[in-house]
Structure 1
Amino acid sequence: MPLHSVSVAGIVVRDDGRVLVIRRADNGTWEPPGGVLELDERPEDGVVREVLEETGISIAVERLTGVYKNMSRGVVALVFLCRPVGGQEETSAESTAVEWLLPHEVQTTMTEVYAVRVLDALDSSAPHVRSHDGRHLLESA
């Protein structure tokens, strides 16, 4: 029976509208901070842990903004809108850079599947559910 992996990501937005992103150490891509959810961990706790580990920023989770499935890898990502509550930007073993981007910079800096997560989180409508192949969104059935 195939297994799925569940990951979490935080779209952390400052009062000035800038969004927290990292450049991943393993592949050099710019993404919202996040990672694999631990087996005994609540999704909200996982996103708080991952953002702190990868960026040095403490957050408060506000709401779920989207569910994204990588169809080629079987990874389901739960994405949350968050706000910073403390800490200082710092890189980690998983990040080579930590930046705050303006929303219009997201589309030129990130690949489609990560940019859409940020843009969906900034949209105040109901959570979005999308599938992708690892690089591009897939059309709904």
Structure 2
Amino acid sequence: MQMPVHIVAALGIVENDQEEILIVKERRSDQWVFPGGQVEVGENLMDGLIREVKEESGIDVKVSHLTAIYSNTGTYKGHSGVKTVPTKVMFDYVCKPIGGELSSSDETSNSQWVKKNEVLDMVTSPALRTRFQAYLDFEGHVFYMDYVTQPEFKLKHKRTV
């Protein structure tokens, strides 16, 4: 039996004192997204998230609390030589900015603060819209959701844990 392989990732909903949310524009897709990404070997979730937010946006953050855990259980053809993208397990955290300055990176072409009520005007990915709505609906209980993104987004399961 082959051991299962999962990508583990963390995403930051970074909110400042003016009720603005940090978003970044991906170079690869030219879409606005929330900063975050894959946790590297030997790195814990929160350190990986802090590193990814800094790399993608220039902003230093403190992790506040977990809002949701997601499984993207769809597998599909990857890019950059990856034959099949495996199942992903993703953790969404609320973060607070503690320093740094907005910047772009090798992965992002722009980063900016957006009023909380305008985020969904800019973030178009159905999966990220669903995840932002979970952040908006958070009342102290962590959400768990299972979805697929290919060939189209489909939410398969949602509950609190």
| TM-score under structure 2 length normalisation | 0.81
Is the deviation greater in 120-129 or in 90-99?
A: 120-129
Question: Match of 1:99, as an amino acid?
Answer: Q
Aligned to 1:113: 127
Aligned 1:50-129 pairs, distance under 5 A: 50-73=52-75, 74-110=87-123, 111-122=125-136, 123-129=138-144
Q: Which runs of 4+ in 1 moved over 4 A?
A: none
Aligned to 1:131: 146
**Contact kept? 1:71, 1:132, Cα under 8 Å:** yes
Aligned to 2:22: 20
Is the deviation greater in 52-61 or in 102-111?
A: 102-111
State the secondary structure of the residue aligned to 2:156: coil
Larger radius of gyration: 2
Does the alignment pair 1:41 with 2:43?
Answer: yes
CA RMSD of aligned residues (A): 1.6
Is the deviation greater in 129-138 or in 62-71?
A: 129-138
For structure 2, the 5+ residue unaligned runs are: 76-86
Q: Percent identity?
A: 29
Is the deviation greater in 29-38 or in 66-75?
A: 66-75
Question: Match of 1:21, as an amino acid?
Answer: I
**Contact kept? 1:22, 1:97, Cα under 8 Å:** yes
**Count of aligned pairs between the two proteins:** 141
**Contact kept? 2:147, 2:157, Cα under 8 Å:** no
Q: Shift of the alpha carbon at 1:136?
A: 2.5
- Name the CA distance, whole Å, in 2 between partners of 1:47 and 1:137: 26
